[in-house]
Structure 1
Amino acid sequence: MNKEQALLRMKEAGVIPVMRGMKTATVIDLLQALYEGGLKAVEITIEGDEGLDSIKVAKEHFKEKLLVGAGTILSGADAQASIDAGADFIVTPIVVEDAITVAKENNCFVAIGAFSPTEIATAYSLGADIVKVFPANTLGADYLKNVKGPLPQIPLMPTGGIDLSNIQSYFNNGAICVGVGSAIYKFNTAAEITAAAREYVQAFESAKN
């Protein structure tokens, strides 16, 4: 999948669960519950021992049905390892120029983490397809609107502290998609996870209309 296709699917997905500490033994069941709730893309972070293997297992199972990205990319080597594992996109928490270089070399979609307007503009000028505004909840959804004023051309993906109580405000203030943490998947049963996923999808659809 090339980066243009990935960008379109990220916009269509709207809500991207950011999944930490994934294990290969349980990741498929967890992703299946999210998928059945209507979610179309996920980010699996790679800092854990089984992050890369979880990405590989997820892509082998879901193939093109689910967009699977790699998160917490901190170097070009991390980016390459994630792409080799089958990641459809890569996400950094900070501006990592080497990761952008590797993504470009592999025609892979990349979301670069940034916070200040200068960092956001720098990340985009270096080649980020989307800028991940992180941590978004520090200044809230109004910050997104303020950034979009002078920088309307930069697509933004706020991440951090987003839940059902504030998700629509981020879309109303300029987000093209959002990263959501464990609030969307830390439940005891698959049915609860699917129900939560469905609520987030409905919130996204309501914000679009």
Structure 2
Amino acid sequence: MAAKQEILNRIREACLVPVLRASSPEKAVRMARAAAEGGVIVMEVTMTVPDAVSVIRTLVKEDPQMLIGAGTVLDPETAKMCIAEGAQFVVSPALNLRTVQYCREMDIAVFPGALTPTEIVTAWQAGADVVKVFPAGAMGGAKYLRSLKAPLPQIEMIPTGGVTVDTAQDFLSAGAFGLGVGADLMDERGLENGGVTAKAREYMQVVKSFRER
């Protein structure tokens, strides 16, 4: 497994962290493949997917070049199972100190969720590599992230919630380490008509344009 800093560098380079939710393991794997076809190289498989651990195992074996992480991880026991199957980073919608501590002991990148300045600083001081700002859209989107980064430039943040093709550029400009993208990209309805792949390409174009700026 790659070193943690290399994982973090690759996520920063990719900018995009699709949040994979699906009604079945089979659909989850299909959605991941469709997003990869559109250029996605990072994937967060949430524990809300039925048999999510098997999905992580399948995706890790299928494409060793793609970074597969575990999402919606609420405790260290779940983190341990996911890491054993090859998960290279761990994400949570909230802050669980035991999970952060376990990931640090295992030298695995960990992105706990937080929302307010106090929560974000607490997560960072606990050892978060990056703080997932969730739900960012409910707090004003990119403007909120920019307000957070002004006094806290040393804390890396991944906004999740409210990130769309239309808002992605603003979030990146506001200082996002990367973008947690959910239903706007990872929508099961896009499986049958190529929509997931097409939307992934749109996001990759936004990232490309941002870098060129």
**Is 30-39 or 69-78 further displaced after alignment?**
30-39
Residue pair 2:91, 2:111 contacting (<8 A) in 1 also:
yes
Q: How far off its partner does 1:71 sit?
A: 0.4
Residue pair 1:30, 1:190 contacting (<8 A) in 2 also:
no
Structure 1 unaligned regions, length at least 5:
none
Q: Which residue of 2 aligns with 1:20?
A: 21
Amino acid at match of 2:87: A
The CA distance in 2 between the partners of 1:173 and 1:125, in whole Å, is 22
Q: How far off its partner does 1:100 sit?
A: 0.8
The CA distance in 2 between the partners of 1:155 and 1:123, in whole Å, is 11
Matched, 1:124 2:127: no
- Specify the SS of the correspondent of 1:105: helix
TM-score normalised by the chain length of structure 1: 0.94
What's the C-alpha RMSD, in Å, of the aligned pairs?
1.4
Q: Which residue of 2 aligns with 1:32?
A: 33
The CA distance in 1 between the partners of 2:58 and 2:170, in whole Å, is 34
Matched, 1:177 2:178: yes
Q: Which residue of 2 aligns with 1:7?
A: 8
Q: Which residue of 2 aligns with 1:168?
A: 169
Amino acid at match of 2:57: K
> Residues 56-75 of structure 1 correspond to what in structure 2 (within 5 A)?
56-63=57-64, 65-75=65-75
The CA distance in 1 between the partners of 2:14 and 2:111, in whole Å, is 15
Residue pair 2:16, 2:179 contacting (<8 A) in 1 also:
yes
Q: How far off its partner does 1:39 sit?
A: 0.8
Deviations 1:18-45 (CA, angstroms, capped at 9, x unpaired):
0113633343332222112111101010
- Specify the SS of the correspondent of 1:166: helix
State which of 199, 205, 208 in structure 2 corresponds to 1:205: 208
TM-score normalised by the chain length of structure 2: 0.93
Q: Which residue of 2 aligns with 1:112?
A: 112
Runs of 4+ in 1 over 4 A off after TM superposition: none
Structure 2 unaligned regions, length at least 5:
none
Amino acid at match of 2:147: N
Identity of matched residues, %: 36
Residue pair 2:25, 2:49 contacting (<8 A) in 1 also:
no
- Specify the SS of the correspondent of 1:129: coil
Q: How far off its partner does 1:190 sit?
A: 6.1
Residue pair 1:24, 1:57 contacting (<8 A) in 2 also:
no
Q: How far off its partner does 1:191 sit?
A: 2.8
The CA distance in 2 between the partners of 1:49 and 1:188, in whole Å, is 18
Q: Which residue of 2 aligns with 1:192?
A: 195
